[in-house]
């Protein structure tokens, strides 16, 4: 019998997309499902691929797009995962995007929005992302379903912890990472022992001289999940200071593995990180210092239940028939 579920995994090789694909691969290896066909492996999402994939699986039970662009042709049920907040920015947020990037952001978003209108089910990982989608596309409200991304219990291995804070954020222009890391360094210098390091997933060309010059800074480069996970449980806390996210895998991984995460005190971060969150308020004196102090001393109990992968993928792909 031919596969009844088609899953398009085309997309970027790193970041949240790659992290999600790793969970899908683990699920398919465990379950050995014969009714799922994965397409798009190793491909970028470009016009040629979007046209080509429409010819696959049209008569099957479900087509699932993991890359924000819904299938649009009639036929099998169309499910799409929307998880890029840049496609659903407010006018204020868009005004803060550089002029060079604004045109491409708007053009990409128009494609995403048009395809989303054709989706039968739109899956988003947080209530905040659902609000973004519905604000821009109110007509799809009854098709939006909130389900947290899956995170396996063994995604982060056990290891002897070292005196270090890990910042596993890929640098992007809209994230303002340089300023936020410099803020963290000031706090670390003020309240932590000199031997506490700051591990950053960046290269020398991506960070300012002030960050490179600090004896605390260790630039580990851009790592895939397999290599990055080795640093996770060696660290004492995670630093995830970004404010435009649809989910934030580091928040969930901290919660699952029982590690404190220093992040902005927002409703979405509380939703994802739960008790692992050591929240701070930007521009509030002493707030980041308090959060760092809490993260270095707080005992976190692992809480994997909200992100259980098998139940997630059983639902997303449908149970095998």
Average pLDDT over residues 80-96: 91
Distance of alpha carbon 158 from alpha carbon 85, whole angstroms? 32
pLDDT reported for residue 317: 96
Backbone torsions φ then ψ of 318, nearest 5 degrees: 80, 150
Tell me what the pLDDT averaged over the chain comes to: 91
* Under 8 Å between Cβ of 88 and 133: yes
3-state secondary structure of 246: coil
3-state secondary structure of 240: strand
Average pLDDT over residues 43-65: 90
Q: What is the CATH number of the domain that holds 213?
A: 3.40.50.2000
21/37 same-domain check: yes
* Under 8 Å between Cβ of 10 and 296: no
125/209 same-domain check: no
* Token duo for residue 257: 């593995």
130/10 same-domain check: yes
pLDDT in tens, 142-155: 999 999 999 998 86
pLDDT of 101 over the 80 cut: yes
139/160 same-domain check: no
pLDDT reported for residue 307: 97
* Token duo for residue 267: 């409703």
Interaxial angle between packed helices 287-297 and 177-191, expressed in degrees from 0 to 180 and rounded to the nearest 10: 70
Count CB atoms within 10 A of the CB of residue 303: 17
229/275 same-domain check: yes
37/106 same-domain check: yes
Distance of alpha carbon 110 from alpha carbon 86, whole angstroms? 11
pLDDT reported for residue 188: 96
Count CB atoms within 10 A of the CB of residue 17: 20
> pLDDT band for position 310 (50/70/90)?
very high
pLDDT in tens, 156-202: 666 678 899 999 887 766 667 888 999 999 999 999 999 999 999 88
14/147 same-domain check: yes
162/269 same-domain check: yes
146/157 same-domain check: no
> pLDDT band for position 266 (50/70/90)?
very high
246/144 same-domain check: no
Q: Report how many domains make up the chain.
A: 2
Residue from 74, 68, 6 nearest 37 by CA: 6
Out of 225-234, 251-260, 303-312, which region has the weakest mean confidence (pLDDT)? 225-234
199/213 same-domain check: yes
Domain of residue 143 covers 5-151+308-317
170/137 same-domain check: no
pLDDT of 321 over the 60 cut: no
* Under 8 Å between Cβ of 106 and 223: no
């Amino acid at each position: 019998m031919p596969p009844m579920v088609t899953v398009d995994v085309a997309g970027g090789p790193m970041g949240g997309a790659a992290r999600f694909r790793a969970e899908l691969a683990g699920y398919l290896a465990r379950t050995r499902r014969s009714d799922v066909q994965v397409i798009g492996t190793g491909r970028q999402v470009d016009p040629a691929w979007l046209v080509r994939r429409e010819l696959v699986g049209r008569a099957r039970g479900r087509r699932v797009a993991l890359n924000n662009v819904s299938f649009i042709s009639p036929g099998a049920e169309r499910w799409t995962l929307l998880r890029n907040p840049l496609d659903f920015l407010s006018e204020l947020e868009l005004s803060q995007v550089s002029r060079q990037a604004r045109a491409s952001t708007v053009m990409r978003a128009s494609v995403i929005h048009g395809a989303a209108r054709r989706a039968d089910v739109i899956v988003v990982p947080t209530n905040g992302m659902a609000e973004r989608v519905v604000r821009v596309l109110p007509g799809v409200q009854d098709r939006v379903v909130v389900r947290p991304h899956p995170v396996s219990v063994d995604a982060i291995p056990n290891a002897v912890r070292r005196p270090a804070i890990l910042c596993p954020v890929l640098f992007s222009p809209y994230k303002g990472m340089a300023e936020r890391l410099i803020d963290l360094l000031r706090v670390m210098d003020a309240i932590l022992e000199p031997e506490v390091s700051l591990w950053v997933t960046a290269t020398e060309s991506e960070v300012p001289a002030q960050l490179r010059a600090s004896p605390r800074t260790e630039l580990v480069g851009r790592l895939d999940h397999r290599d990055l996970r080795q640093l996770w449980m060696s660290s004492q806390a995670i630093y995830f200071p970004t404010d435009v996210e649809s989910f934030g895998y580091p928040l969930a991984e901290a919660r699952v593995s029982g590690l404190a995460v220093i992040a902005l005190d927002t409703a979405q971060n509380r939703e994802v990180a739960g008790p692992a969150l050591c929240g701070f308020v930007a521009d509030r004196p002493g707030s980041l210092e308090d959060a760092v102090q809490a993260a270095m001393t707080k005992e976190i109990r692992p809480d994997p239940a909200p992100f259980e992968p098998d139940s997630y993928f059983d639902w997303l792909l449908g149970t095998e028939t």
